[in-house]
């Protein structure tokens, strides 16, 4: 085979690999450690040393904040239903780690090293889809069996026809209805394993959502972003999602540059929330065919 022919064969193989295995680009990034979380999230919240979890992050947001609820929406991608956050820091806490809740401090994020489209538990009921953040320290299988506790109600439900809305929070069902809906719902527990051997639940079946919205839903492709953040255009969603290790090689142990004393952290109602930029796409959404559900 002459050099020109070999070049054409090589080019063809590379094109086939790119088309068939678009997700494999993830594994080719240089690994980072938890320091990327400590450094990149510091401007948007406080790092504290929290009992049982070590360093956790408390965002500078208002008392109405709830993970996978405010300032974001669900987008169907080649990884399933993926949470697209409008917060500048959303690339990290909604795709790595878990969200916990403290009765005084509110929501806090515990770092983790596995990337997923989201880390939530899912339920479906007649006319509704719902989800809640997975608890820290629990495996996927264990979280399926956790009893529903109405005193720590962190479920968010929307009418199934509103599931794709970009201003999703406005259409959430009043939380006083959660006990009734949960009691008549079933767990969505179909697990998926991606090319990194990460197991997660990708949310409602595409066919179920298509049926209620009355149109075909095509997945968009997730591409790699070279820096923290996300960008969506031309049908692709670019997200910064490096391979994260707790430590890399002989480097010093990662740690936040500044650690706040828990006694200095205010409760959410007194906290100074930083208004985060919202994506232009979200601002331009004009709700139709449905009225926002009443908030509690």
The answer to whether 158 touches 171, Cβ cutoff 8 Å, is: yes
Highest mean pLDDT among 140-144, 242-246, 285-289: 242-246
pLDDT of residue 140: 61
Q: What three-state secondary structure class fits 201?
A: strand
Number of H helices, E strands in the chain: 6, 17
Strand pairing report for 32-33 and 244-245:
parallel
With beta carbons less than 8 A apart as the criterion, state whether 160 and 129 touch.
yes
Nearest to 88 by CA among 228, 226, 225: 228
Residue 143 and residue 252: Cα distance in Å, rounded? Answer: 34
Using a cut of 0.75, tell me whether the model's pTM lies above it.
yes
What mean pLDDT comes out for the span 129-145?
Answer: 77
* pLDDT average, residue stretch 112-124: 94
- 235: confidence class by pLDDT, cuts 50, 70, 90: confident
Q: What is the DSSP string of 95-154?
A: TSSEEEEETTTEEEEE--S---S--EEEEEETTEEEEEEPPTT--HHHHHTPPP-GGG--
Confidence of residue 24 (pLDDT cuts 50, 70, 90): very low
Q: Over 70: is that where the pLDDT of 103 sits?
A: yes
Q: Cite the beta strand spans of the chain per DSSP E.
A: 32-33, 45-50, 54-59, 72-77, 80-85, 98-102, 106-110, 120-125, 128-133, 156-159, 185-188, 191-193, 199-201, 221-224, 230-233, 236-239, 244-245
Distance CA 89, CA 84 (A): 11
Model pLDDT, residue 4: 42
> Closest Cα partner for 255 from 112, 71, 49?
49
pLDDT tens column, 26-57: 445 578 899 999 999 999 999 999 998 999 99
List, for residues 165-193, the tens digit of each pLDDT value.
999 999 999 988 998 999 899 999 888 88
Task: Enumerate the β-bridge partners of residue 74.
Answer: 83
Residue 250 pLDDT level (bands cut at 50, 70, 90): low
pLDDT at 210: 96
Task: Give yes or no for a contact between 104 and 116, defined as CB atoms under 8 angstroms apart.
Answer: no
What integer pLDDT is reported at residue 3 of this predicted model?
44
The closest of 114, 6, 72 to 232, measured between CA atoms, is 72
Buried b (16+ CB within 10 A) or exposed e, 33-68: bbbbbbebbeebbbbbebeebebbbbbbbeeebbbb
């Amino acid at each position: 085979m002459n050099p020109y022919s070999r070049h054409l064969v090589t080019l063809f193989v590379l094109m086939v690999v790119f088309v068939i295995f678009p997700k494999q680009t993830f594994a080719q990034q240089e690994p980072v450690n938890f320091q990327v979380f400590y450094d990149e999230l510091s401007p948007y919240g406080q790092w504290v040393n929290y009992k049982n979890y070590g360093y956790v992050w408390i965002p500078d947001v208002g008392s109405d904040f709830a993970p996978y609820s405010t300032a974001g929406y669900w987008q169907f991608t080649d990884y399933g239903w993926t949470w697209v956050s409008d917060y500048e820091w959303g690339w990290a806490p909604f795709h790595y780690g878990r969200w916990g809740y403290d009765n005084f401090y509110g929501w806090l994020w515990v770092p983790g090293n596995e990337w997923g489209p989201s880390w939530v538990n899912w339920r479906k009921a007649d006319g509704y889809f719902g989800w809640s953040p997975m608890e820290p320290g629990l495996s996927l299988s264990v979280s399926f069996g956790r009893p529903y506790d109405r005193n720590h109600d962190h479920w968010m439900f929307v009418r199934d026809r509103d599931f794709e809305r970009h201003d999703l929070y406005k259409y959430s069902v009043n939380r006083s209805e959660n006990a009734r809906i949960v009691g008549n719902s079933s767990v969505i527990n179909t697990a998926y394993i991606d090319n990194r051997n990460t197991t997660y639940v990708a949310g409602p079946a595409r066919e179920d959502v298509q049926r209620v919205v009355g149109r075909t839903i095509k997945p968009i492709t997730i591409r790699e972003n070279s820096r923290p953040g996300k960008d969506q255009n031309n049908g692709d969603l670019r997200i910064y999602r490096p391979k994260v290790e707790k430590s890399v090689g002989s480097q010093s142990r990662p740690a936040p540059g500044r650690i706040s004393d828990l006694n200095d952290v205010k409760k959410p109602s007194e906290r100074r929330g930083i208004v985060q930029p919202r994506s232009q796409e979200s601002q331009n959404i004009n709700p139709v065919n449905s009225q926002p559900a009443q908030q509690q």
